[in-house]
A = this chain, B = another copy of it.
């Protein structure tokens, strides 16, 4: 330190000053690129919801605070349909199944006269709807099994990337909510591991989750068919069998979480009564927890539906949210922008 105090060392003083400024600049750059000093959730309007989310993340990452959670326990789970991407007026995976029926029809001439396939081919939604869960399952099995895992992955991925959602005129893979993309990123930049826990098919979602949400295939939990290992044309392959393996919905969600993740999340985000058990399981753990539901209230920019909807019904959760400390995110009020593209 003697160097800089000698009269001759004016240049080194300059140098030191420049170096100090450089250091300050570097620190500023690091802090700003790690999210400090800029809004981590720009598509969320200011208000109680945004404040609660940021307060939660701040609390669990504050090493000196009473609510600190070590990084390995920072698990966040998100439902997919209606929570991360559009589910209305019909679940995306069902629309994919209908399109596959039409595509496969030439190989199945009997479908022209056999329900529920006939109804799909004729766009007869009334008959299809009357066929109920049994009809839907028949369509799902006919379109979701019999091929290898890689073949199905390609079919689903291509369809999601190339089929337009009719209202928004964007591929389904892009009909994702911008505020949620920001939240996923904000959580990850704070040491969280983010997972999808959806009633939808695990194999249907995986081809696009990495690009759409930054979530790799191994962090996707969903419903599945039984897989069978076979040597097909001399090559090992996994064949999708026409049999349900697991339904990752309602009380199945905490089970799916334990199967795949092996620990209880500290944050869970859903949008319908089907997510109640996941949120209940999450928020009943020890320490600070956060449970949230998207409430679709915005018919102008997206859709408005809740208690009486056949898709993504949100009813009981609305009733018990307050007493359980769950946050109901009001899409119209809380989200400044809905989609990644300009509306």
Contact = CB atoms under 8 A, between A and B. Distances in A.
Given A236-B281, A277-B236, A149 B216 contact: no
A315 interface: no
A220 B262 contact: yes
Contacts of A244: none
Interface in A243-300: 245, 251-252, 254-255, 258-263, 277, 280-281, 284
A156 interface: no
Contacts of A15: 3-4, 12, 15-16
A113 interface: no
A260 to B, nearest CB: 6
Contacts of A12: 3, 9, 11-12, 15
A311 interface: no
A269 B72 CA distance: 26
A332 B185 CA distance: 48
A218 B10 contact: no
Contacts of A260: 218, 260
Interface residues of A, number: 46
A86 interface: no
| Cβ-closest 6 pairs across A and B | A217-B262, A12-B12, A229-B251, A3-B11, A9-B11, A229-B254
26 contacts: A3-B12, A4-B15, A8-B8, A8-B11, A12-B15, A149-B258, A202-B259, A203-B262, A206-B262, A217-B261, A217-B262, A217-B263, A218-B263, A224-B259, A227-B255, A227-B258, A227-B259, A228-B251, A228-B255, A229-B252, A229-B254, A229-B277, A236-B254, A236-B277, A238-B255, A245-B259
Interface of A: 3-4, 6, 8-12, 14-16, 72, 149, 193, 195, 202-203, 206, 210, 216-220, 224, 227-229, 235-236, 238, 245, 251-252, 254-255, 258-263, 277, 280-281, 284
